[in-house]
Amino acid sequence: MEGLEKRRLMVNTGPSSSPSLHQFGVTHPFIQQLDVVFPSSDDVEMFLSILEPTYHKGEFTLSELYENALTVDWAHEEHTFMAVPTQNDSDDTWCVDYRGFLTLSVSKPIYERIGLVGKKLPFKGYAEHHVIRIPLREQIESVAVRARQKAALKIWDDIRAEAGYPKWQVLHCNGGAGLTPDELKPVRPQVERYTDVHIPIPTISPCPSKYDKDGEALDDWNENARELFEWVGMAALGAQRLKANDRVDPYVAVYEPPAPSRIGSATHMSWTGLLHPVFVQTVATINASSSPNAAQDSTEQQMFVSVMSHAYPWSPVSYIAPSALEAGAKSSVSGEAPLRACRIDAEDTTCLLFIPPVHDGMTTDEDSSESECCWMKVESVGQWDTRWG
């Protein structure tokens, strides 16, 4: 059994106008679970409760998927097709992202048989794995290249059939591809409410420079971030330690909530399934736009919203950099996603915590949005991921 991979963290902050906030969905394309935690608010819960995304599930060969994906109108983002297999049964996997790329991640035997050119994974223990990217948009490839791609995928389908594997179990957001028969899967939010729990009153500031003369400033900032995200994770798990009347034996477990904090109620909402980036971005956008309204009624409430995304570990594409979303990148190999090793326990989790900007009546909305630091994001990825080199 393979051991757990080492994890790497990156923490960023920014103002409400930051592209990182408004590109949350499109940069994380294959989300299998989304968790939202916030101090209980009827307004926020009402906004989020009406969101019920859907996806489809069916059985197809990769050739069938490829043929249908070529018919998709990729120009209309809100309706574009994306697909990923259910939990994989081998070392070989694939995905179709919303930009119109079919990405294959295959072991050496499959790579040598299908005859398409790809890139080797730059990781020890995975050097024989290759990643192959196939553009699906019209007029990107010649007729001859399309014929070779189709033949290669047919070879892979035949190899799987000879080995006794059934057709791929596929999860997909149907943007016009005629994949039938399949099953429509609605995703309804699960809601949990916790009363009498410690709730932090968070503050967010830019990360101090490591060259700052005050050597303790960076340590304090890191500790504040750690405490906030620890609380979010514990709240999502419904941890007993957050209860105000918790009396656990200190020799068994010790937990101190972030300071300052208050006693109140918290709500946890979650959606599980293939969640389209448009839906994910809608959640982030609603959080950013509705939180200030919920907080205006009471300054004591100190409203904040946290969004946690969990990626499909067996998807070859897990992150798309903002630079790959620039004009022209969607129809070019310049929009390549970072290479990663697909493992059932691969790590790729992002948590975004948003605090409504405070307006003092003297600062304009435009000035405030540029200067106030109102969100903090922590990303956790495994060692076999080239997102950060």
> What is the per-residue pLDDT across 241-276, written as a single tens digit (0 to 9) for each?
899 988 777 777 778 889 899 999 999 999 999 999
Residue 2 domain-assigned (yes or no): no
Same domain, 111 and 230: no
- Asked if residue 89 has pLDDT above 70, the reply is no
Same domain, 198 and 118: no
Question: Which range in 129-138, 210-219, 328-337, 364-373 is most confidently predicted, on average pLDDT?
Answer: 129-138
- Asked if residue 168 has pLDDT above 80, the reply is yes
Total number of domains in the chain? 2
User: Exposed, middle or buried: residue 313 (CB in 10 Å: 0-12, 13-18, 19+)?
Assistant: buried
Same domain, 362 and 227: yes
Same domain, 129 and 247: no
pLDDT > 70: percent of the chain: 83
Domain boundary among 186, 204, 238: 186
Same domain, 174 and 192: no
Residue 389 domain-assigned (yes or no): no
Same domain, 38 and 118: no
Between CA 27 and CA 318, with CA 48 as vertex, the angle to 5 degrees is 20
Distance of CA 34 to the CA centre of its chain: 8
pLDDT > 90: percent of the chain: 51
Same domain, 242 and 372: yes
224-257 core/surface letters (b: 16 or more CB in 10 A; e: else)? bbebbbebbbbbbeebebbeeeeeeeeeeeeeeb
Q: 145-164: per-residue pLDDT in tens?
A: 999 999 999 999 999 999 99
Average pLDDT, the chain: 84
Same domain, 146 and 90: yes
Residue 200 domain-assigned (yes or no): yes
Residue 387 domain-assigned (yes or no): no
- Asked if residue 210 has pLDDT above 90, the reply is no
The neighbouring-strand residues paired with 189 are none
DSSP run (H or E) holding 212: none
pLDDT at 6: 84
Same domain, 136 and 26: no
Same domain, 225 and 353: yes
Domain of 134, in residue numbers: 55-186
Instruction: Look up the CATH number of the domain holding residue 167.
Output: 3.90.1150
pLDDT at 368: 45
pLDDT at 178: 65
pLDDT at 321: 87
Same domain, 49 and 116: no
Beta strand ranges found along the chain (DSSP E): 7-14, 31-39, 54-60, 82-85, 93-97, 101-106, 119-120, 130-135, 168-173, 182-186, 190-200, 261-275, 305-311, 348-354, 375-382
Q: In the block, which residue shows the tokens 């399309």?
A: 146
Same domain, 217 and 343: yes
Among 177-191, 266-280, 284-298, where is mean pLDDT lowest? 284-298
Q: 39-63: per-residue pLDDT in tens?
A: 999 988 998 998 889 999 999 999 9
